Amino acid sequence: MRDPVLLQAVDVTCRYPGRAQGRPALDRLSLTLARGEWVAVAGPNGSGKSTLARVLAGLIPYQEGELWLNGQRLTPQAYDVRTRVGLVFQDPASQVVGATVEEDVAFGPENLGLPPSEIRRRVEEALALVGLAAMRHRPTRSLSGGQRQRLAIAGALAMEPDLLILDEPTAMLDPRGQEEVLAAVRRLNRRKKTAVLWITHRLEETLLAHRLLILQRGQVVAAGPPAPLLAGRQGPVESWGLRPPEVIRLAGALRRQGLPVPEEAATLQALTETVLQAWRAGGMGR
């Protein structure tokens, strides 16, 4: 049974002040996101990815269309979804406000005026989900980039949002930090069933999502399971100004050699297993 719809955007158009003429940042964009779903969003620079994040989080208004969250219509100019939609940006340093890890995560719930017992519960749960429980008393200035980004995610989770939006969350991190953040988001999506909208220019990260949306000129031009989409089922990825991840290109090369590589095999481990099975079955020269 499919999860109910959490978010729905219908023909949403957004123009920035002073840009009434010309192409809008979002141009009659429509999308849906179900509860518990992880949706990745990719597209070339200027495609509207960050504008989409800010519109959905209520940071900037949209001028046309309809936006629905939890079955409630959000008005274009004056809606407040800040306690229901969490937004994490690419720069972890700009999102940390507390002196210690625990204080930083507690900042949002304290501003809601919640009782101390509820604040403690939320802080403990959020830190556990992002793997920072053992660091709760650490000074935030001593954290690595990946740890700070996980802390920013914990701060958003402590508000118990229906939807967590991450806008290029690994762009400023080293490979270890990138993996830390991806693992934390996988955990919260699987355990807490938090809906995730993951905006990224790293197409290999989109392979972890349930669904991938490709944006171009403020519109969704393609959507579907990430691996088949990036493999070209709906057309060449290059036509959208993107380059397929290396693992997708390798899978395509193996298929052209006659190996039965399934479309969902989008990791090096899966490709290795496919090659080994073909070897054992005698499908490859020895």
- The whole-angstrom separation of Cα 169 and Cα 92 is 8
Type and span of the H or E element at 85 = strand 85-88
Q: Strand 211-216 and strand 219-224: pairing?
A: antiparallel
pLDDT for 40? 97
- The whole-angstrom separation of Cα 47 and Cα 114 is 39
CB 162 within 8 A of CB 84: yes
- The whole-angstrom separation of Cα 166 and Cα 201 is 12
Q: How many CB atoms lie within 10 A of CB 241?
A: 14
SS3 label, residue 105: helix
SS3 label, residue 75: coil
- The whole-angstrom separation of Cα 225 and Cα 2 is 15
Q: How many CB atoms lie within 10 A of CB 16?
A: 10
Instruction: Give me the domains of the chain, ranges plus CATH numbers.
Output: 5-244 (3.40.50.300), 245-286 (no CATH)
pLDDT for 257? 77
**Tens digit of pLDDT per residue, the chain (286 long)?**
457 999 999 999 999 887 666 789 999 999 999 999 999 999 999 999 999 999 998 888 899 999 999 888 887 654 566 678 999 998 888 889 999 999 999 999 999 899 999 999 999 999 999 999 999 999 999 999 999 999 999 999 999 999 999 999 999 899 999 999 999 999 989 988 899 999 999 999 999 999 999 999 999 999 999 988 988 777 778 888 888 888 888 888 887 877 777 776 677 777 777 778 777 776 555 4
Could you give phi then psi for residue 221, rounded to 5 degrees? -100, -15
pLDDT for 123? 97
pLDDT for 256? 80
CB 179 within 8 A of CB 209: no
- Give the DSSP per-residue string, 257-283: TT----TT--SHHHHHHHHHHHHHTT-
Tokens of 143: 């954290």
pLDDT for 196? 96
Q: What is the pTM of this model?
A: 0.86
Closest CA to 172 of 151, 205, 196, 149: 149
pLDDT for 1? 45
Give the number of residues written for the chain. Answer: 286
CB 125 within 8 A of CB 109: no
How distant, in Å, are the alpha carbons of 9, 39, 53, 200, 240 from that of 45?
A: 22, 19, 14, 11, 11
- Name the E strands within 169-237: 195-199, 211-216, 219-224
pLDDT for 55? 93
Which residue's entry shows tokens 């008393």? 137
